[in-house]
Amino acid sequence: MEIKDRNDDSRLRITIIHDSRIIGYIVIDSIIGGHSHGGLRLMPDIDEDEIGILARGMTLKFGFLGLPHGGAKAGVVGDPEAPLNDRLKLLTSFGKSIYPLLANHIYIPATDMGTEISDIRHMVKSSGVSVKKREFRVNRTGFYTALTVFTGAKKAVQHLGLEMSKCSAAIEGYGKVGSSLGDFLYNSGVRLVAISTSRGAIYNKDGLDVRRLNRLTKEAGSRVVDLYDGANRIDRSSLLELPVDILLPCARHHSVHGENVKNISARIICPGANNPVTLDAQRELQDNGIMYLPSFITNSGGVLGGTMEFASIKKGKIVEFVNQYIGPNIASLLDKADREKRTVRDIAVPMAMNRLKKMKQKSRRRNSLSLLFELALDLYRRGCIPSSMVRGPAYRYFEKAFQGEVM
């Protein structure tokens, strides 16, 4: 096993090599209180640049939410649909290679594309790190990611003076997030005309049957596009260029780039994926009058919901939090961008980075209260403190964090 690491602009980049073959990468973009958090994805064609972009997205996401976590990302090179034993063997090798980061909680992993919570738990345990009772539990991050994506789309539609029930939409990447998003669209009356998976894309201008799509997705995963009848097969790249009101990229980064941005005809792009549009393409979208919402805002629900679930906050209260805080914040950013003739990203990135800077400063000023908080958190992770004692104070903590009043 060989590990190559380098520091780049205060970021730690690590490449894991086994038998002369790269098996994975990890990039730690920022650290707060000695820790960084970010998903671990398992895909056959990831590279260091992609992981670096995603790690910066995590930093911005935590800054936007006001959560005092550093941002990171990891990726293992492999087939997510390979036999279970092969996948677990690969994750075990990767976990053992980054043992110091896991053992010292410098990097705290979570699920991402191609991984389940059971994969993360297995990787951490097989590396030799003990897993506490409340760590790496099953959660609904796909649902919560879809919730904030839908919330962003709804606010964008309202901002343009449109009605959800009269809008059409296309989803690139119909997986955990995409299928949950399909439910939200269906319940709001939006006509879903196209979806894609790794196996292709389907299109019906009159609309797809979301209930049937989700049943087939649950049964056959990415093969839903092979099994669904009543729609035309199209190229995956063609989905991005369909004349829909709302385009929802929920697949890989940089789906929209300099080569295809001129062909985009959607009125709104609201990402479920991380960084699906290059920075240059974002500027061209604005010039073309197409509204783009930054992914670190729209898909922040996965991080938010997973963290709130860890604190034993109920699903209904998390939905309430998104409606009460995230939605109005997005609406405010859209209004400000209009007034100042700037992109939402141009406004939101400095805001997120400024919050991150303040959280770093506070983390360096450790006092008796912060030490007590860390002790209580460790006891809670171990299951020594009942969830009923944590739920109420935790909700108030998230409210203060989002308003910039972190501990």
> For residue 407, what pLDDT is reported?
42
Q: DSSP assignment of 302-358, as one string?
A: HHHHHHHHHTT--HHHHHHHIIIIIHHHHHHHHHHHHHHT--HHHHHHHHHHHHHHH
Greatest CA separation for the chain = 64
Q: Give the integer Cα–Cα distance in Å for 194 and 251.
A: 14
Q: Are 292 and 264 in contact (CB under 8 A)?
A: no
Question: In sequence order, what DSSP letters do the residues of 83-147 get, joined into one string?
Answer: -HHHHHHHHHHHHHHTHHHHHTTSEEEEE-TT--HHHHHHHHHHTT----TTSS----HHHHHHH
pLDDT of the chain along its 407 residues, tens only? 555 555 566 688 999 988 888 999 999 999 998 999 999 999 999 999 999 999 999 999 999 999 999 999 999 999 998 999 999 999 999 999 999 999 999 999 999 999 999 999 999 999 999 888 878 776 788 999 999 999 999 999 999 999 999 999 999 999 999 999 999 999 999 999 999 999 999 999 999 999 999 999 999 999 999 999 999 999 999 999 999 999 999 998 899 999 999 999 999 999 999 999 999 999 999 999 999 999 999 999 999 999 999 888 999 999 999 999 999 999 999 999 999 999 999 999 999 999 999 888 887 776 666 666 677 777 777 788 888 888 888 888 889 889 875 44
Residue 343: phi, psi to the nearest 5?
-80, 160
- What was the pLDDT predicted at 140? 87
Residue of 175, 228, 219, 236 lying closest to 43 (CA atoms): 175
What is the per-residue pLDDT for 3? 55
Separation of alpha carbons 325 and 357, rounded Å: 22
Ordered structural domains, the chain, with CATH: 2-138 (3.40.50.10860), 142-348 (3.40.50.720)
**Which pLDDT score is estimated for 368?**
62
**What was the pLDDT predicted at 401?**
87
Position 283 scores a pLDDT of: 93
The dihedral through the CA atoms of 147, 153, 156, 158 has a sign that is negative
Short-list 299, 272, 380, 310, CA closest to 117: 310
pLDDT at 138: 67
